[in-house]
Amino acid sequence: MSASQTSPPSSPSRSTADRIARQVLRIGEADHQALLSLKGSIWLSGIRCIITYAVLPALAPVVGWIGVLARPLSVLLVLAAMVLSIHSLRRVWLADWAQRWAYTAFISVVLVLLSVVLVVDVRALLAGG
């Protein structure tokens, strides 16, 4: 091979767990620019938390009809949070971030908690409350 020809860069050696996680998240090789879009997900998650845990509870006593909208809105916000959490997790793995396993553990806990909230809200909606 001449000096002007170069071989394509080889993909880094990955552990079995890394390869499985990449298959589950449906991502390919690393893209180190992927973390740049994570900022938007973090902002949306913060806005969702403010609405869910500050605005809705504060307005509920003042505006009686908000109680009717609180549960459906909560379900929508939880579903949005779940989608954004998975999106951010994919971005972290796509960027090949060194702390991706710690972030995966964190997002797993977040998804479990959001699932509990979703089940409680859906059961309350179905029960008519």
pLDDT number for residue 104: 93
pLDDT number for residue 55: 82
Residue 2: both structure tokens together = 């001449």
pLDDT number for residue 6: 47
Q: Which amino acid is at 28?
A: G
pLDDT number for residue 66: 65
- Let me know: does 25 contact 104? Beta carbons within 8 Å: no
pLDDT number for residue 101: 93
**How does pLDDT run across 72-93, given as a tens digit for each residue?**
888 898 898 898 889 888 888 8
**HEC readout, 11-59:** CCCCCHHHHHHHHHCCCCCCCCCHHHHHHHHHHHHHHHHHHHHHHHHHH
Supply angle C-alpha 34, 40, 43, rounded to 5. 140
Alpha carbon distance 96, 106 (integer Å) = 16
User: Per-residue confidence at 115, pLDDT binned at 50, 70, 90?
Assistant: very high
